[in-house]
Every structure is written in structure tokens, then in C-alpha cells.
Amino acid sequence: MTTHLVWFRADLRLHDNLALAAACRDTQATVLALFIATPEQWKQHHMSPRQASLIQFSLNELQQKLAEKGIPLLVREVADFAASVDELKNVCAEHQVSQLFYNYQYEINERQRDALMEKTLKGVVCQGFDDSVMLAPGSVMTGDRQMYKVFTPFKNAYLKRLKEGLPECVRAPSVREKVSSPVEQAIKLSYPQTPFDPALFPADEKSAIAQLRHFCQQRAAEYEAKRDFPAIEGTSRLSACLTVGLLSPRQCLHRLLAECPEALEGGAGAVWLNELIWREFYRHLMTFYPKLCRFKPFIAWTDKVQWQSDPEKLAAWQQGKTGYPIVDAAMRQLNETGWMHNRLRMIVASFLVKDLLIDWREGERYFMSQLIDGDLAANNGGWQWAASTGTDAAPYFRIFNPTTQGEKFDKEGDFIRQWLPELKAISGKAIHTPWQWADKEGRTLDYPRPIVDHKQARLETLAAYEAARKA
Ligand SMILES: Cc1cc2nc3c(=O)[nH]c(=O)nc-3n(C[C@H](O)[C@H](O)[C@H](O)COP(=O)(O)OP(=O)(O)OC[C@H]3O[C@@H](n4cnc5c(N)ncnc54)[C@H](O)[C@@H]3O)c2cc1C
């Protein structure tokens, strides 16, 4: 009897799952699936309780859908990655597994775990797949086989590769001839969980595919014009689905091209494709520069910036009480829903680093602890971009003005009013400078005055970066 085991990690779906499809190719084999929760490891990685909740929900769905195909999903819980390899070994021995199928993860701890796994599992053939990317890391390189450090040439080379041949999607498995007995237990992970709003984030594969279809049909062509305005539904909100693997990026690519066939040539939908390529860029970079997983900046001199340790200001930023309405509304959106609009992520990150001069790693960690879509590569990439410590990042002297950013991207203040009810009384543009409004009207607001003066903070930050550059 041949038994194949699929180890599910961040790929909680049946459609276009390369490891699952490969495991099912031999119709005579018995196929088992496994998920190993590692709460201690997740805690070290600052995984958010909302993401844990999404994983639990998705796992229950996955278990049911796999059972319909005759594939039982076993769920185990151990402390950390090292223990997960021991657990995997036990499962392989218990079920006489001959072949193990899994999709690669590119973060350093995950890669070390997989290296240990391959060493430990003697007698089991292990096969890994580049499933969470459209093109595998290492397949888009410069002429002298180096990883691109700048996005635009990477994107151009990437598009060229895509035009030469699109990565195909694989089908969901058919019902197995050899059906294993299903596992009938509701999955309950011990990791702390915070419920998420399923109206905001699809939590099962079917809804994720439906949302992708809807977005590509209705909104992808207008994405370029609408994506920067947090008060409107201009983006896909599919990031959490991509992070836990309810969707693959190949599915996104194919659905986009079905609705916007000119996207590869720079036509409608091209800007959304661009974002999917940013996601790939950060994953490829992380594979080539493991220091990015170790809290190291890409640009070495930026590690000499003298950050300020100010727990009160950090807490004000975290709680959305800085006195700058666009920053505070964004942080409340994050804290209450587990998601934040991309434009706002850039604004609040710039504010923490360049107005408060607080170490970007504090922000990176806090985001991971709150985001439902928390993803090491994208989060680290975003923070290093905003802090000007990353490759192809914003130059250090580019410092967003939080007031004008609000005026530009939430002109009427609709987004701010949604998240800061204490400012509802202020009509029009005055909402962006509530302290001036209060002074003028002689009113007292239940809202803080700015915790820093932007102009002054900007000068101090420029001086701190200059000093680090010359050190
Ligand atoms: C400081 C900061 C932190 C971030 N942290 C994360 C994170 O932890 N997880 C995460 O998925 N994204 C992160 N991003 C990127 C981006 O903000 C989110 O992917 C996006 O807001 C998700 O919303 P959406 O699904 O509607 O995206 P859409 O605009 O519809 O984009 C489609 C998909 O492309 C990918 N994507 C879009 N923009 C980026 C980007 N700049 N970098 C990498 N991938 C991108 C996402 O997978 C997204 O779902 C971060 C950005 C910044 C500036």
C-alpha cells in the first residue's frame, strides 16, 4: 500500500494547490493530509489572534472539503517548529507514509524547519513546491544571476517571463478511489483568537474565489483610479486569503487576465498586477537575503539611526491617539478590524518612524500582532520601504506630512469620521486640523492635540538620518 501525506501550512485550499495535486496524481495511493499548529512559534512570530481565528475557520472548512474527496485532515498541536518535525515523523511512522508533499515557505525559521525535516525523515521521499508565488524565487534574476534590488527592472523582467509562458493552475483533486475514513472532530486551536468580520474577509475557499471573481469583473479596471482612497472600496481585500493560502497568486493572475486581457501589456488591470508583483518581489528578496527575517535593515548604515525610546508616544500611535486624524483613524481601523488600507499603512508607518523617530521594528511587530493578513515578507518590505532602510525604499528625506496626506487622500474626511466619532461635529476640511478648529470655535474636543509638531519632528529626523549616514 502506498500512502502519501500532504503537510498543509500556509496553503489552506484544494484548488491550485501544487503539493496536494502532486500527492493525488497517483490514483491508487492513499492520501492523508496534516496540519500542525505551533502556538509557541506563532507567539514568537507575533501572529495576530485574528489571523489565528481565520486559520481555525479555514481549517474546519478544509477538513470538510478534503473529507468529501476521501482525504482525512489530521490536526496536531505542538509548541514550535522543532517539535513539529518530531510530530511529523511520528505521523509518517504511524501511517507508513512513503512520500511527503509540501509547499515551500521562504521565511528563515520555516526553511530551517524544512531542512531539519528532510534530514529527519529517513525513508520518506520529500517533495517541495513553489506554490505561494507565481514564479519561483531564483527564476527572475539579472543577467549576471543576481537578485534584482530595484523593483522596476525586477517587474520588467518578471512581466517578460510571464509573457513567455504563464504559470498554470492545477485542478482540485477528484474523489479518491481509495477513500480513507474521515476524521470527525471540530478543530479548536489553543492560540488566542479574536473573531473577524466575515463580511470584510472571505474565510473559506469558495468565498475567496467568489470575491476574486467579483473584484476582477467589477473593480480591477478601476483599481488605478480608486486604490488610494480609504473611504471607498477600491482594493480587493484579498491579502488575508493570500497570506493563509485560501487563494494562490496564480489564481489571481488567471482571473485578472480573463477579465482584463490587456493587463500584461500595461492595459486595464495592470496596476493590480503590479501589486501582485510587489508581493513576489518581497518574497524573492527574503529568500536571497535571510537577514530580512532577522530584523536587519537592508541598508546597513540605517542601523545607526539613534531611535527614540518613548513608550508613551508608541502607545499613542498604537491606540490611535496621536492627534493627527488620518493616522488615528487608520490605527483604529487596524485595531478594530485587523486590516488597514495600503495608503494608510504607508502614512502611519512614516509617522511612527519619521515623526516620532521610533524604531521601525516596533511598528513591524505591532502590525504583525494586529493584522489578519500579517505576512513577514510584505510587512517587512512595507516597513523598510517607509523607514527608508530597505532596498528600493522611499529616500530618507521623503517625509509624509500627516495633515496634507489626510487632505489629499481623505479629502472630505469621510474615512476619518467613520473611525473617529469624537470628530463628527467638525464639518469639511477642518477635520484634518481639529486643534485649530477647537481654538477657533472655542470648543473642547474629546480628542488629543498633536503629540508632536510635524515641522520640528521632520528636522530632527533628517538630522538623525544624516548623522547615521556619516557615522
Ligand atoms: C507598512 C506596511 C505593512 C504591510 N504589511 C503587509 C502584511 O503584513 N501583509 C500583506 O499582505 N501586505 C502588507 N502590506 C502591503 C499592502 O498594504 C497590503 O497587501 C494591502 O493593503 C492589502 O489590501 P488588498 O488585499 O485590498 O490589496 P490590493 O490592493 O487589492 O492588492 C492585491 C494584493 O497584492 C498584494 N500587495 C498589494 N500591495 C502590496 C505591497 N505593497 N507589498 C506586498 N504585497 C502587496 C497583497 O497580497 C494584496 O492582497 C504592507 C504595506 C505597508 C506599507
pLDDT tens figures, 108-120: 999 999 999 999 9
Q: What is the 3-state secondary structure (H, E, C) of 194-233?
A: CCCCCCCCCCCHHHHHHHHHHHHHHCHHHHHHHCCCCCCC
Higher pLDDT, 452 or 398: 452
**What average pLDDT score do residues 284-308 get?**
95
375 CA distance to ligand 1 centroid (A)? 9
The answer to whether residue 278 is catalytic is yes
Indicate which atom in ligand 1 lies nearest the CA of residue 374: 8
The sheet carrying 99-103 orders its strands as 73-77, 30-37, 3-8, 99-103, 125-129
CATH topology of domain 133-167+204-288: 1.25.40
Q: Which of 52, 327, 3 is nearest to 191 (CA)?
A: 52
Rounded to whole angstroms, the Cα distance separating 223 from 418 reads 22
Average pLDDT, the chain: 96
pLDDT of the residue at 1: 78
Can you tell me the distance from the alpha carbon of 377 to that of 386, in angstroms, rounded to the nearest whole number? 14
Q: Which residues in 316-345 are b (16+ Cβ under 10 Å) and which e?
A: bbbebbbbbbbbbbbbbbbeebbbbbbbbb
Active-site hit among 307, 401, 435, 460? 307
* Average pLDDT score over residue span 411-439: 96
Residue 317 falls in the annotated catalytic set? no
Q: What is the DSSP letter of 334?
A: H
Residue with cell 473573531: 195
Q: DSSP 3-state assignment of 18?
A: helix
Domain range 3-129, CATH class? alpha beta
Evaluate if residue 426 carries a pLDDT over 90. yes
Average pLDDT over residues 405-428: 96
Taking CA atoms, 342 is separated from 117, 243, 270, in Å, by: 36, 15, 17
Note the pLDDT of residue 24.
Answer: 97
CA 44 / ligand 1 centre spacing (Å): 22
460 catalytic, yes or no? no
pLDDT band at 183 (very low <50, low <70, confident <90, very high): low
Residue 180 has pLDDT above 70, yes or no: no
Catalytic residue, candidates 42, 272, 383, 385? 383
Q: How many residues does the structure list for the chain?
A: 471
| Separation CA 170–CA 399 (nearest Å) | 45
Concatenating the DSSP letter of every residue in 269-329 gives: THHHHHHHHHHHHHHHHHHH-GGGGGT--SSGGGGG------HHHHHHHHHT-SS-HHHHH
**From CA 181, how far away is CA 179, in angstroms rounded?**
7
Instruction: State the CB neighbour count (10 A cutoff) for residue 178.
Output: 13
> Ligand 1 pocket: which residues have CB below 6 Å?
227, 235-239, 242-243, 275-276, 278-279, 282, 342, 345-346, 349, 367, 371, 373-375, 378-379, 381-383, 386
Reference 109, options 58, 156, 46; nearest CA is 46
User: 300-470, which class in CATH?
Assistant: mainly alpha
pLDDT tier for residue 221 given thresholds of 50, 70 and 90: very high
Q: Higher model confidence: residue 394 or residue 110?
A: 110
Each residue's pLDDT tens digit, 308-337: 999 999 999 999 999 999 999 999 999 999
Residue 240 alpha carbon, nearest atom of ligand 1: 11
d(CA 168, CA 189): 34
> Catalytic residue among 40, 87, 274, 278, which?
278
Domain boundaries, the chain: 3-129, 133-167+204-288, 300-470
Q: Considering only CA atoms, which residue is closest to atom 30 of ligand 1?
A: 236
Averaged over 331-357, what is the pLDDT? 98
Say if CB 245 and CB 10 are below 8 A apart. yes
Q: Is 360 a catalytic residue?
A: yes
List the residue whose alpha carbon is closest to atom 38 of ligand 1: 275
The cell numbers describing 77, all together, are: 498541536
273 Cα to the center of ligand 1, angstroms: 12
What are 430-447's pLDDT values in tens digits? 999 999 999 999 999 999
Centre of ligand 1 to C-alpha 177, Å, is 41
pLDDT digit string, tens, across residues 66-125 = 999 999 999 999 999 999 999 999 999 999 999 999 999 999 999 999 999 999 998 999
| Catalytic annotation present for 419 | no
Residue 355 to residues 48, 202, 282, Cα–Cα distance (Å): 26, 35, 26
Q: Is pLDDT at 399 greater than 80 in this prediction?
A: yes
Q: Is the dihedral of CA 60, 61, 67, 73 positive or negative?
A: negative
Q: Which of 211, 405, 421, 227 is nearest to 324 (CA)?
A: 405
pLDDT score, position 394: 86
- Does residue 51 surpass a pLDDT of 80? yes
> What local confidence, expressed as pLDDT, does residue 186 receive?
86
User: Are 3-129 and 133-167+204-288 the same fold in CATH?
Assistant: no
pLDDT, mean of residues 152-170: 98
177 pLDDT above the threshold of 90: no
pLDDT above 80 (res 461): yes
- Atom 52 in ligand 1: residue holding the nearest Cα: 382
> Which pLDDT score, from 0 to 100, does residue 182 have?
62
The mean pLDDT value for 143-168 works out to 97
φ/ψ region of 374 (left if φ > 0, alpha if ψ in -120 to 50, else beta) reads beta
